[in-house]
């Protein structure tokens, strides 16, 4: 370890301990240099994990195809092993931490034989930020190292921030081993699907992940640290670690406001974070597309940093019309996972905006005919060419719409917070909370149709409070109480809170709102509400815009559809209220009574309508 030039004694001893457990053939410190990145990429190409894409089309970019059993978060195999089950709460899987460590130790024992253990220090947050944190992941996956290199500040920035005795979050990852060790290592995507486990020990600031090489299960800097562990740190220290994008809106007069927003996976969060405005003179820029760490500063305002340095986004349905900024971001230096491969060496996915060429190879590496009526050339089923949860991993440095202050060490001041999901009815286009507590109530009851990001749960309506249900590292009732407490200081200048829904449909099943660039019209109304403009119509759900106050100039939408978008139907709210009550009861006895009072007020207001 002396050659690693690591001064932190805790890191040195931990690496030595895990080396003895996992028994790798070698241990390598990843310093985050281009030479290291290129060398590991060449290694993955040589063993077949990576396919180098056409350098004329996507320079220095690669396609990886995972094992079909390892394509999504495995929530049923994700655990919060706090000291007591009550601290984990009803929304998390819990096992006694001693029992879980005993179980995992047997799996990790010798799991890296024949492989390299990579030591990957990473910094979450801008360099020099008082809010940034250091983590270290030990992994036997070069694929994981390269993905982390794109979405986190790996190597030297973290080592510089890691003083001799500084604390850091410990993350141990192994792709796992099959019953036949040699067979597992021969695979281009090693994993152990039957014994996968993604385990968090919050009090120890420790994550152990075994058996999966996919995204959030293996990139432990992301959901595991930046949300599950960080949410526990935030609770203890009085700040917020949230599953939120951050963007800036600048009006034609040059005034800028920052907005944060929580949306469950595949509900348009990245598209909104990178949206191109449809309104002349109005500009949107990106601070982050997925995670926000938020602190109240001495001026009483809520400030947010994006702890990440890149994007790990859902590829399907990303196109020049839905998100041209994303398309421009991953033209180079990008890792694609589980996308289809075109004959000319480019990637393709459903919703990219053009048909797949004949001879395109699907994500399972089988060749398909592009004709809808023709048979599959390999004889396999006519499934999508691209996996629904296919991903792109790329650096924010290539994004053309990053805000000038996205790496401001002190963060950016938040004027408004959005909660949004996929709802075909009931929830209007935009609704303003009456107060901070009422906004917490809306966030606590956020719901959406589930997507492929959660394995095996597509199309089901799911309550996903704050879009944090899979990511809150402690009792969800205590989490609600923590949010309420953050607004109890009367000297604080609290952001306004809104619920938005781009996905409301008419009786024929057609979307009422065009979405994408036209979501700017809703952002404009919110921006101007934050400046004290307009009045709202009071409803049982909250404050709604008057239709004439929403900028619809040039928008091809009928007055009837606009009215429908900005209407709360009392008859639809009655079953919604029952669903909310059942949800809050299911979240356990620690749910604050304040939220039930908000529900009672909503029910009373609905009865008066």
Beta bridge partners of 391: 314, 337
CA 554, 258, 461: angle at the middle one, nearest 5? Answer: 75
Separation between Cα atoms, residue 423 and residue 433, nearest integer Å: 18
Q: Give exposure, 513-541, as e/b (b: 16+ Cβ within 10 Å).
A: bebbbbbbbbbbbbbebeeeeeebeebbb
Q: Which residue has the tokens 């792109």?
A: 392
Nearest CA to 458 out of 448, 467, 444, 471 is that of 448
Separation between Cα atoms, residue 140 and residue 113, nearest integer Å: 9
Separation between Cα atoms, residue 186 and residue 114, nearest integer Å: 11
Question: Which whole-number Å values give the CA distances from 493 to 257, 293, 302, 389, 469, in the listed order?
Answer: 14, 17, 8, 39, 27
Question: Which whole-number Å values give the CA distances from 20 to 16, 24, 199, 237, 391, in the listed order?
Answer: 6, 8, 20, 34, 34
Token pair belonging to 293: 């760490």
Separation between Cα atoms, residue 448 and residue 561, nearest integer Å: 21
List 232, 267, 401, 606, catalytic entry: 267
Q: Which residue has the tokens 């921006």?
A: 527
Tell which phi-psi region holds residue 32, choosing left (phi > 0), alpha (psi between -120 and 50) or beta.
Answer: left
To the nearest 10°, the Cα dihedral for 191, 309, 280, 505? 30
Ranges assigned E (strand) in 146-201: 153-154, 169-174, 197-201
Separation between Cα atoms, residue 442 and residue 433, nearest integer Å: 8
State yes or no: is 267 an active-site residue.
Answer: yes
Q: Are strands 244-250 and 256-262 parallel, antiparallel or unpaired?
A: antiparallel
- Mind telling me the catalytic residues? 267
């Amino acid at each position: 370890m002396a050659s690693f030039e690591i001064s932190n004694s805790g890191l040195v001893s931990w690496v030595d301990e895990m080396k003895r457990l996992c028994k790798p053939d070698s241990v390598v410190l990843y310093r985050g240099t281009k030479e290291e990145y290129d060398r590991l990429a060449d290694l993955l190409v040589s063993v077949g994990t990576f396919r180098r894409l056409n350098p004329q089309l996507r320079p220095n970019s690669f396609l990886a195809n995972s094992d079909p059993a390892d394509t999504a978060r495995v929530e049923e195999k994700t655990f919060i092993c706090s000291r007591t089950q009550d601290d984990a709460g009803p929304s998390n899987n819990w096992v006694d931490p001693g029992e879980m460590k005993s179980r995992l130790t047997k799996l990790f024992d010798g799991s890296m034989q024949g492989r390299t253990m990579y030591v990957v220090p990473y910094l979450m947050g801008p360099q020099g930020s008082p809010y940034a944190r250091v983590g270290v992941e030990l992994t036997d996956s070069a694929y994981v190292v390269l993905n982390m290199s794109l979405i986190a500040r790996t190597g030297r920035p973290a080592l510089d921030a890691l003083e001799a005795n500084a604390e850091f979050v410990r993350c141990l990852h192994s792709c796992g081993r099959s019953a036949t060790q040699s067979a597992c290592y021969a695979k281009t995507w090693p994993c152990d699907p039957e014994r996968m486990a993604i385990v968090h020990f919050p009090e120890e600031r420790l994550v152990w992940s075994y058996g999966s090489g996919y995204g959030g299960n293996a990139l432990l800097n992301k959901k595991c640290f930046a949300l599950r562990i960080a949410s526990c740190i935030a609770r203890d220290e009085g700040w917020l670690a949230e599953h939120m994008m951050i963007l800036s809106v600048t009006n034609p007069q040059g005034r800028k406001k920052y907005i944060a927003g929580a949306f469950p996976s595949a509900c348009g969060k990245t598209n909104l974070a990178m949206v191109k405005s449809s309104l002349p003179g109005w500009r949107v820029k990106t601070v982050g597309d997925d995670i926000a760490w938020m602190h109240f500063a001495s001026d009483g305002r809520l400030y947010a940093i994006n702890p990440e340095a890149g994007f790990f986004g859902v590829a399907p349905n990303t196109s020049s019309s839905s998100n041209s900024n994303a398309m421009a971001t991953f033209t180079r230096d990008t890792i694609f996972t589980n996308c289809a491969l075109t004959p000319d060496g480019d990637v393709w996915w459903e919703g990219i905006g053009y048909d797949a060429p004949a001879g395109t190879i699907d994500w399972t590496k089988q060749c398909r005919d592009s004709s809808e009526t023709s048979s599959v050339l390999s004889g396999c089923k006519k499934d999508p060419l691209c996996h629904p949860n296919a991903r792109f991993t790329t650096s924010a440095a290539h994004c053309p719409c990053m805000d000038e202050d996205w790496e401001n060490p002190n963060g950016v001041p938040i004027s408004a917070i959005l909660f949004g999901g996929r709802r075909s009815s009931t929830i209007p286009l935009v609704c303003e909370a009456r107060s901070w507590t009422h906004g917490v109530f809306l966030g606590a009851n956020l719901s959406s149709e589930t997507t492929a990001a959660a394995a095996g749960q597509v199309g089901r309506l799911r309550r996903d409070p704050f879009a944090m249900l899979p990511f809150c590292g402690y009792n969800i009732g205590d989490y609600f109480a923590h949010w309420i407490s953050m607004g109890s200081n009367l000297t604080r200048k609290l952001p306004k809170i809104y619920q938005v829904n781009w996905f409301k449909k008419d009786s024929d099943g057609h979307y009422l709102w065009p979405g994408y660039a036209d979501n700017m019209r809703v952002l404009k109304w919110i921006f101007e509400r934050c400046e004290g403009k307009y009045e709202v119509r009071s409803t049982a759900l909250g404050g709604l815009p008057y239709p004439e106050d929403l900028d619809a100039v040039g928008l091809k939408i009928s007055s009837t559809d606009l009215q429908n978008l900005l209407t709360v139907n009392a008859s639809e709210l009655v079953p919604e209220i029952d669903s909310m009550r059942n949800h809050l009861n299911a979240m356990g006895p620690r749910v604050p009574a304040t939220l039930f009072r908000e529900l009672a007020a909503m029910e009373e207001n609905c009865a008066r309508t």
